[in-house]
Structure 1
Amino acid sequence: MQPTLRDQLAKEQIRFRFNPPSAPHFGGSWEREVRSVKTALRTTLGAQIVTEEVLRTVLVEVEGILNSRPLAYVSGDVADPDPVTPNSLLMGRPDSSLPQVVYPESDLLSRKRWRHSQILSDHFWKHFVHDFLPTLQARQKWNRERENITFGTVVLIVDEQLPRPLWRVDTVSSILPSSDGRVRTAVVKVKDHTYTRPVARFIRLPALPQDPGDSKK
């Protein structure tokens, strides 16, 4: 490490803790994200050989997809769930998708590469939906007691019919308990429409813990 960089890091009280070789599991949650990207890209690209330009474009699209998933919500108004995403923290906005580029008719090579990168990005999104999102949903059988979803819970609504990544975040407006008292179906209101869905189609978003100083104001 360069002395200048080391001195600057020391001023910021930044310390590096390196994992031992051949131990990616030491990374915990962030290594799980790396695995998600690797697995989906391996499935998406397979044995394809793509240009560096296409690969860079796909990786930026993949980054936008992964960083657009909600982490939690911070709004105190249940009617206005404002989810926090990695994009919100990194870029100040929830969406980091690339703008649509219009190439001239004569630039056939760039148009072909752009279409190729979009096809690969869409392929990645499909695998992201089917492989990664199920890990966010509690799908255990009812042999273990779990807390029922309740009115006002902020949820991410799983909807594979929507284009990537435009899933809605809203609150549960009512619940429909089964005869045994368990809630397997709930209703959410999105703008002027209500949707009845099984709770397996919802991903609960936790509220960020409040600063003790905020509660005193």
Structure 2
Amino acid sequence: MSIYTLIPIVFIALYLGYWFYIKNKNSQQAQIVSNTDFKAEFANAEKYKNHFLTSELPFLKKAMEQEKIDAFNYASNEYGVASALKDGVKDKLKGMATLGAVRFTTVQTPKYLVLSGKNLHLFDTDTDGEINRHFIFDAARLENSRLTELPLTGSVQAQAQARGNNVKAYKLSLQTDDKPVVLIIYSCLIFTNIAEIPTNPQKTIEAIIIANDFLKQLGDLYPNLKVSLPIFN
């Protein structure tokens, strides 16, 4: 067997070995998270939230200025095949406008939801991660909004199951004067459109507690937005 034949075989073997190693490691981490006593951990919600805001999201505190952050969560646009096709057409038209000199690709950017009093703040970001839009949904709009659990399929399922058996996904439809703003949120701090594999079980536990705290407070304020939370079942 020549060396040219061996090279791809060795490469494939190394790739498969690495893939199985990562899969096994992720499975072990997910199991650690699944075995956590989340009801006991929920007592630490305030501590986890404050630490996360200080260490990971100081820009949210700055954006909220003097307003209190009662709870927060991550969010992403609902992005299905129709949305992808629509963005593809828009990108193609933009490219045609430059005579093909520039290729455009629409990027789905992270969003942040902040509950402050009875208001829900939605912060959108640009491709550099900077906040570029701020929307406020008051009680009147939230009372006419909807929150429903989503079936775990595709990328939504992959994101949830990588974090154990206690993560659910939800579709949040926020009422506006025009059509609703539709977002995907989880009972964990997750951006749907940013593929990531958790590497620290403790951080995952804290992310689950913070997101469940957000969902619980939202549901306590607005019964129409109350959903079943897996960590309390």
TM superposition score normalised by structure 1: 0.29
Q: Which has the higher contact order (CA 8 A, sep 6+)?
A: 2
